[in-house]
Every structure is written in structure tokens, then in C-alpha cells.
Amino acid sequence: MASLKNSPAVCKGLFLNASSSSNQLALQGPAYFPGYNCTRRNYSPQVRADASPSIQQGCFLKRSGRRQALSLGAVVAFVSFPQANPAFAAEIKKGFQIVSDNKDGYSFLYPFGWQEVVVQGQDKVFKDVIEPLESVSINMITTNKQNIRELGSPQEVADALIKRVLAPPTQKIKLVEASEHKVGEKSYYTFEFTAQAPNFTRHALGAITIGNGKFYTLTTGASERRWEKMKDRLHTVVDSFKIVAV
């Protein structure tokens, strides 16, 4: 497993070749705990070490969102999604709903009952209103790369992405596995990781690919406590992720 410091090609590919224009936050923003108290104004970012996991999640969200947004000097414009393309209808599994974005060229499934929320730095977020760690988010950033392989191996890219973007540096990170698969001629990297905070651990899955001049990142997960119950549904979410030319 390569670290970010030992993967200069990955670092440059992910973070130096990306556009920082005002409508591209893509790999930035709180992808880790999307949606928890995200629309509440004047929410204090301070949190006690002994605070409940849900409070810590909300506070991390606010801190990360402000820090990431300030670093790019940008704010994402959230757009509404059209109805699912009939071409995807046969792929919708029981217990899931589909997101199909014809403008940005992606689609994925999410569990029925999850609610859409707005999170700074994310293009689209759905979460469980009872279990705040159960969520899926997608974002994009412009890139001059043509194929995900140009950034490095699945392990290198996943490791760099997790450490730099998907989890805060204060948490203990473990990359469980990373692999590559193809849908048609398009290469996708998928990965699994855990991030341990003082009061909770999140078990997460991700999928990344490059197309349409963009680097796409989809992330989903649940608490370690709920992982065994949720993992099949979360794998369905990741496996359903596809992009199309636009």
C-alpha cells in the first residue's frame, strides 16, 4: 500500500491537475459524514471529546465543509436531477431508488427511505435520517486525465484519496482492499476502508473513475456496529455506479 507521500504521481494527478473554478469542488468537502445537520445555520464547530457520535459527526461536517471550501474559495451549486432514464429501469433492484444525472453523466442506486440532503462540496447526497453514518455522496472535479489508471494503481489512488479527502487526519485509517473492474471499456476503481474516531468507527466503500473530463468519486458507508447488516446494500450502491458520455 502506497502512502500519499510515496505516491507523487497520484498526488499530482488528483490535486494539481484539478480545476479550482467556482463550480468544481469535486474531491473536496465533507464526503465522510454527508448530511448530518448540514443545513443548520450558526452551528458551533466545537465538540467535546466525550460528545455523542452523532454530535461529533455533525461538528466534523461543519469544520470540514468550511475548511475545504475556504481552501478552494468556492461553493458548489446544487442542481435538481431529472427523472430516471427508462434505459436504467431494468437495473433498479427491489428496495432501491435510482439517481440518474443526464447533465453530468452518472447514475447509481441508493436504499429506499434515505433522504436527500444538501452538503457543501458534494454534488448529491442521500442519508438515513436515523443512522447518520449511513449515506452515499458523489462529487466531481475537472481533470486532464483520460483514464483512472493514469493516476496509479487502485491501492495508491484509494490510499491517497482517503487520507487527503475522505477522512480527517485525526482518525485512524485502514484501507481494507482496493481493486479495478471495467464496465464496457471504462475502468473503475473500488475500495473499502475504515476510519476510527474516539467514539465511533465508520466502515465505508468507494468507487472512482474518470470520464467526461471529470474525476468522479462516490462514497457510501455505515457505522462498524451496523456494517454486517448494511454491507450487502452498500455494495449494491457501489456496484451500481456508472458514468456515460455526455
**29-39 pLDDT, tens per residue?**
334 444 333 33
Alpha-carbon distance of 173 to 162, in angstroms, equals 8
Q: What is the dihedral of CA 128, 52, 169, 58, to 10 degrees?
A: 50
pLDDT tens, residue by residue, 77-124: 222 233 444 444 446 889 999 999 999 999 999 999 999 999 998 999
Question: Worst-scoring range by mean pLDDT, 60-74, 108-122, 175-189, 218-232?
Answer: 60-74
Alpha-carbon distance of 58 to 226, in angstroms, equals 19
Residue that the C-alpha cell 431508488 belongs to? 97
Instruction: Place domain 8-243 in its CATH homologous superfamily.
Output: Mog1/PsbP, alpha/beta/alpha sandwich (3.40.1000.10)
CB atoms within 10 A of CB 245: 7
Whether pLDDT at 239 is above 80: yes
CA angle 137, 81, 167 (to 5 degrees): 10
209: left (phi over 0), alpha (psi -120 to 50) or beta: beta
Which whole number is the average pLDDT over 158-180? 96
Whether pLDDT at 47 is above 60: no
Q: Is this structure's pTM higher than 0.85?
A: no
The side-by-side arrangement of strands in the sheet containing 201-211 is: 115-117, 124-127, 135-142, 214-223, 201-211, 186-196, 172-183
Mean pLDDT of the chain: 75
Alpha-carbon distance of 211 to 244, in angstroms, equals 8
Q: Residue 142's pLDDT band (boundaries 50, 70, 90)?
A: very high
